[in-house]
Amino acid sequence: MRSEVTVPLADIGRARRAAVPQPQHDVPASGSLRDRLHRPLTDLRISVTDRCNFRCSYCMPKEVFGKDHPYLPHDALLSFEEITRLARLFTLHGVRKIRLTGGEPLLRKNLEVLVGQLAPLRTADGAPLDLTLTTNGSLLARKARALKAAGLDRVTVSLDGLDDAVFRRMNDVDFPVADVLAGIEAARAAGLGPIKVNMVVKRGTNEQEILPMARHFRANYGGGVVLRFIEYMDVGATNGWRMDDVVPSAEVVQRIAAEFPLVPLEASAPGETAQRWAYADGGGEIGVISSVTQAFCHECSRARLSTEGRLYLCLFASSGHDLRPLLRGDERQGVAPASDAQIASAIGHIWQGRSDRYSELRAGRADDAAQAGPAVRRVEMSYIGG
């Protein structure tokens, strides 16, 4: 198996391509792979497109991702069969949950076909996968039933406010909030639950929507929707992030608890990113994801696969390991595609070398915070999903 050479910085969003490690020995797929900090690999997020029909300022600002932005050509994207093959190899290493992301994943034509290919996969111990999808909800009303029929378990919908003017301003394409709410209702009716609704909170932009969002999702859907508040993160290099724009999760919890008393809940699974809170009167729960103020790198068990086959080990990574040459080989150079065992071994080597913990270093929580080093160009969230 030949390794990929490292190439210079790519265009916006895709950062750099890192070399796939040249194996010194095989890494067997034992179902219990660990990285340098003893973190397992349990969660794989797969981006199926680098395109999105929204232009949210914290993710794909219009001034950067304009009408002339060079998206990936179709032949660069992994096929559904290639994605399914990689997903199967990841499950052999311990992956139990697969989340389809984007860009906006529902822009990928016939996505339900991919869902149907992934749904029969099983974990290393024979259990069904937790197969989920994150979407902005714009196309969900028309796709929910087909996705459920194909085998999708549940969805997470991004929604940054209920006020239509605020929401249209944030998505920057004048998309109405009513259509996203219709998508959530369609997903609930199709059985894609429990549904999670993610709200990114940005100071001076939509923090006034915290309580209206809590009231709405507490009062509707019969407890079948869990609202989660996400701290505005410094992902990529195009969103103009400043710490002053972050609304700490503790403030979010305090605001909600002042109207609806809350009690803490235990994590639903090891490595859970959200801190869970239940309404004291039994009216459901909320979650907060505090990746800026309370870094959870020490429990992170997620890998991310880009739509063109690069494996990223952190949301804040500056480079990804290109698996596509292993899948396709190179006829011009006489390089045959790698076998399943070779690709699985390469994945094992990559994960075993992982030591990423950007958020902890940024927060100064570790003694060696200085190792964070100078600022580097990081991959964009729109390219590998949140």
User: What are the pLDDT digits (tens) for 256-280?
Assistant: 999 999 999 998 777 678 899 999 9
Write a three-state SS string for 268-291: CCCCCCCEEEEECCCCCEEEEECC
- Predicted pLDDT at 216: 96
State the residue range of the domain holding 94. 16-384
Looking at residue 12, what is its pLDDT? 45
Residue 289 lies in a domain: yes
CB 16 within 8 A of CB 8: yes
Q: Is residue 271 part of a domain?
A: yes
Does residue 380 belong to any structural domain of this protein? yes
Give bridge partners of residue 276 from the DSSP assignment: 287
- Tell me the sheet residues that pair with 305: 46, 311
Cβ-contact 167, 160 below 8 angstroms: yes
| Tokens, residue 210 | 């915290």
Residue 176 belongs to domain with CATH number: 3.20.20.70
Residue 117 within a domain = yes
Q: How far apart are CA 290 and CA 298, in angstroms?
A: 13
- Per-residue pLDDT, 221: 81
Domain count, the chain: 1
pLDDT digits (tens, 9 = 90+) for 277-313: 999 999 899 999 988 887 778 888 999 999 999 999 9
Beta bridge partners of 304: 45, 312
105 exposed, middle or buried (CB, 10 Å; 0-12, 13-18, 19+)?
buried
> Is residue 249 in some structural domain?
yes
**Residue written as token pair 């990081």:** 378
Is position 348 within any domain? yes
Burial of 332 (0-12, 13-18, 19+ CB in 10 A): exposed
Q: What is the DSSP letter of 77?
A: S
133 in a structural domain: yes
- Between CA 229 and CA 231 the distance in angstroms is 7
Q: What is the pLDDT of residues 309-339, one digit of tens each?
A: 999 998 877 789 999 999 999 888 889 999 9
Written as six digits, the tokens of 331 are 């006829």
**10 Å Cβ neighbour count for 134?**
20
Q: What is d(CA 132, CA 112) in angstroms, rounded to the nearest whole number?
A: 12
Tokens of 240: 């103009």
Is 216 part of any domain? yes
Position 376: which residue type? V
Please give the Cα distance from 184 to 145 (Å, whole number): 12
Q: Distance between CA 27 and CA 95 in Å, rounded? A: 16
